[in-house]
């Protein structure tokens, strides 16, 4: 996968240097920029990197990598236990899912780049992978920065009210530290504007296309985030939005 659109180039990592560039950006986004650290050699890396396809978006003028994410393709729910998400969630209810799946992870955009075209190109790359691989469900962990859930109560209340997973797929608790927002905020009426302002951009995109989430958030001290399991059936995406995604990668 490789193509150029406007000022950006979208491509799949083909060697270790490309993967290190993604790992470097991940460290900057998840750790360095947030803690004021400046280690030129630091990486965010784990054992899943060698099993995934890595998609990078690069500014063509400067050569700088401005966004990345990784994809782990599964033949169906029987392989869900091999996913990164399964480290944090009991996903046994998805084990019977028969269609091909892709886990999307470590999605990040360089903190100095706020161009909305970057997110559109990332989704266009996902659309290509979905079409090429016959993917029927996308899933992964959508992260809120920081571990203080009080900053996100309107967002979590809206997730509880409008976007919980169907019960037949609802992930169960596995991680040692979680915020059970569906239970804790059952009486809270969310402020829609505050809720959407606090929602991570990637999660907003998932929800706009018919995505759903777990009923609890995992406290991830390593990355200093709260994350919710997120799923999206491809057939749930509105046709007009699907056409826009494909057009962005044309």
Pull the structure tokens for residue 16.
């270790």
Contacts 24+ apart (CB under 8 A), 165-168: 165/212, 165/213, 165/214, 165/215, 165/229, 165/231, 166/212, 168/93
* All residues at 6 or more sequence positions from 63 whose CB lies less than 8 Å from its CB, including other chains: none
Q: Which of 8, 247, 249 is nearest to 109 (CA)?
A: 8
Pull the structure tokens for residue 196.
């959407």
Where are any strands of DSSP class E within the chain? 2-5, 8-12, 53-59, 65-74, 89-90, 100-109, 135-145, 172-173, 178-179, 212-213, 217-220, 225-233
State how far the Cα of 31 lies from the Cα of 163, in Å rounded to an integer: 29
State how far the Cα of 109 lies from the Cα of 119, in Å rounded to an integer: 8
Tell me the per-residue pLDDT of 25-84, one tens digit each, with 9 for 90 and over: 999 998 886 665 666 789 999 999 999 999 999 999 999 999 999 999 999 999 999 999
State how far the Cα of 215 lies from the Cα of 156, in Å rounded to an integer: 9
Do 56 and 74 touch, CB atoms closer than 8 A?
no
Give φ, ψ of 63 to 5 degrees: 75, 10
Q: Is the pTM of this model over 0.85?
A: yes
Q: Which of 131, 147, 135 is nearest to 104 (CA)?
A: 135
pLDDT in tens, the chain (250 residues): 888 989 999 999 999 999 999 999 999 998 886 665 666 789 999 999 999 999 999 999 999 999 999 999 999 999 999 999 999 999 999 999 999 999 999 999 999 998 999 999 999 999 999 999 999 999 999 999 999 999 999 999 999 999 999 999 999 999 999 999 999 999 999 999 999 999 999 999 999 999 999 999 999 988 889 999 999 999 999 888 888 877 776 6
Q: Find how far residue 42's CA is from the centre of its chain.
A: 22
State how far the Cα of 189 lies from the Cα of 186, in Å rounded to an integer: 8
DSSP category for residue 94: G
Cα–Cα separations (whole angstroms), residue 136 to 16, 104, 140, 151: 29, 13, 14, 34
């Amino acid at each position: 996968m490789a193509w150029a659109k406007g000022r950006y180039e979208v491509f799949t990592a083909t060697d270790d240097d490309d993967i290190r560039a993604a790992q470097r950006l991940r460290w900057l986004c998840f750790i360095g920029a947030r803690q004021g650290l400046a280690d030129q050699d630091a990486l965010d890396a784990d054992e899943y990197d060698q099993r995934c396809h890595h998609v990078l978006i690069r500014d063509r003028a400067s050569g700088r990598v401005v966004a990345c994410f990784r994809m782990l393709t599964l033949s169906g729910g029987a392989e869900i236990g091999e996913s990164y998400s399964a480290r944090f969630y009991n996903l046994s209810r998805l084990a019977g899912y028969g269609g091909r799946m892709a886990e999307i992870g470590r999605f990040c955009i360089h903190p100095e780049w706020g161009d909305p075209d970057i997110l559109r190109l990332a989704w266009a790359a996902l659309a290509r992978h979905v079409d090429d691989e016959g993917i029927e469900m996308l899933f992964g962990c959508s992260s809120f920065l920081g571990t203080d859930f009080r900053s996100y109560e309107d967002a979590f209340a809206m997730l509880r009210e409008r976007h919980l997973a169907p019960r037949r797929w609802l992930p169960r608790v596995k991680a040692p530290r979680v915020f059970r927002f569906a239970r804790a905020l059952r009486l809270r009426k969310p402020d829609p504007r505050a809720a959407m302002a606090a929602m991570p951009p990637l999660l907003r995109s998932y929800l706009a296309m018919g995505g759903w989430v777990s009923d609890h958030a995992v406290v991830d001290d390593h990355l200093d985030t709260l994350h919710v399991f997120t799923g999206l059936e491809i057939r749930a995406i509105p046709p007009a939005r699907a056409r826009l995604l494909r057009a962005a990668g044309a």
